[in-house]
Amino acid sequence: MSFILYAAKTIGLTDFKHLSIDGTIKRAHNSPFNLIKEKDIKLLVKHYLVEELTKEEIKKLRRTARKFMDDKSKTDKEKVDILFHWRHLLDCSGQKSLALNDHDSRLMKIKDNGQKYPKFSFNVQLGTDTKSKLICGVNVVQSPTDHYQIPALMNQILVNLNTKPEKISADTIYLTIANLEYLKNLGITTLIPTSLQNRKNSGKMPDNPFAIDYFVFNEYKNVFICPNNEELTLDGTYPAPQEKGGQNKLKLIYSNFKACNKCINKGVCFKKGHRTITRYVHELTYETERIISSKEGLKDYKLRSRTVKAHNGTFKNIYHYDFIPITGLKRVQNLMFAIVASYNLIRLYNLINDNKMDLNSVIQKIRQISSD
């Protein structure tokens, strides 16, 4: 993987200055019915260590739990050991259900036919070069969210590239202090919009004319201007709940009781009392918000949508990675390394053709690189 990236840079196809980060969900090799629940384990432990279950209690068990009870190939002691092992795995995962085929997988919400529902899966994090569309890093994690995944992925990317990108763009879900602090310490410009900026950039503004999106923030005066042109001033500053990584944002409350009291939109803009706007601020998030607000920042961020989304469809529809019978976090990680390496090799060949480069001379140059 590192060699392909180095070769692409050496023959002048890219400079790896701007990378985009995104996550996708890979389903685990496990039937949605082949699982054991925490409440089933409790009943089974009771059955083998305390007293036999009644017919009513047995009816409450899932089919997999009843099948476990009927298994004559294991002694009661062996079954108890298995049950306590399952209990330990559930405690470590923090979840209520355990996949029996793949203990490392976790329940994650995925989109299937337009509906969201949890399935046992892995979270695949990808870092992609916006210029060449080559994948510079892939990291498989068990966390169902993307909030704190940038440092681990970037550590791998820095090793693969042996150079440091100038810019990193990512979706709003990555806008956490831990991620921002990590990238700032590396001296990398961060392009991550707030949820409000994301809605404006994507054109998905709410229908409610009094939604927070339509309250304009005046940075110079530190006030919000409502749709009726009234100013909501700073009412109070409070510490927000602590984020992972140990730092807090500030919770700023803006309001204007007098204006709201005589407003003709009572009951529409707000239901009771008066309208308040809550803003969460930290030095790093504020700095990132200003970068993405600039013309250059917005232009660079728009490159992301044309970079990262295509991989998800390629891996699902071309490589069919959801249906490859591999289990375990390490094996899935190695599978993704193999898939990404093959994808990058095909992508490199296509880039050479697109740029009308002489294939023989490129091969000779790559051979020289490998010998060096």
**What is the pLDDT tens value at each position of the chain, 372 positions in all?**
888 898 889 888 999 999 999 999 999 999 888 999 999 999 999 999 999 999 999 998 999 999 999 999 999 999 999 999 999 999 999 899 999 999 999 999 876 665 567 899 999 999 999 999 999 999 999 999 999 999 999 999 999 998 999 999 999 999 998 899 999 999 999 999 988 888 887 778 888 899 988 999 998 899 999 999 999 999 999 888 777 655 677 889 999 999 999 999 888 999 888 999 998 888 888 889 889 888 898 899 988 877 777 787 788 888 899 899 999 999 999 999 999 999 999 999 999 989 888 888 888 888 877 776
Instruction: Provide the whole-model pTM.
Output: 0.87
Q: Cβ distance 308 to 22 under 8 Å? A: yes
Residue 316 burial by Cβ neighbours in a 10 Å radius (0-12, 13-18, 19+): middle
pLDDT of amino acid 31: 87
> What is the rounded CA–CA span in Å between residue 344 and residue 7?
11
pLDDT of amino acid 35: 94
If we measure between CA atoms, which residue out of 24, 25, 32 comes closest to residue 102?
32
pLDDT of amino acid 128: 94
pLDDT of amino acid 319: 87
Please report which residue ranges of the chain form alpha helices under DSSP H. 2-10, 38-49, 55-60, 63-70, 76-93, 150-161, 177-186, 195-202, 257-261, 283-293, 295-305, 309-317, 329-354, 359-371
> What is the rounded CA–CA span in Å between residue 108 and residue 27?
9
Return contacts of 206-213, CB within 8 angstroms, 24+ apart: 210/265, 210/268, 210/269, 210/270, 210/275, 212/277
**Which residue type does 204 have?**
K
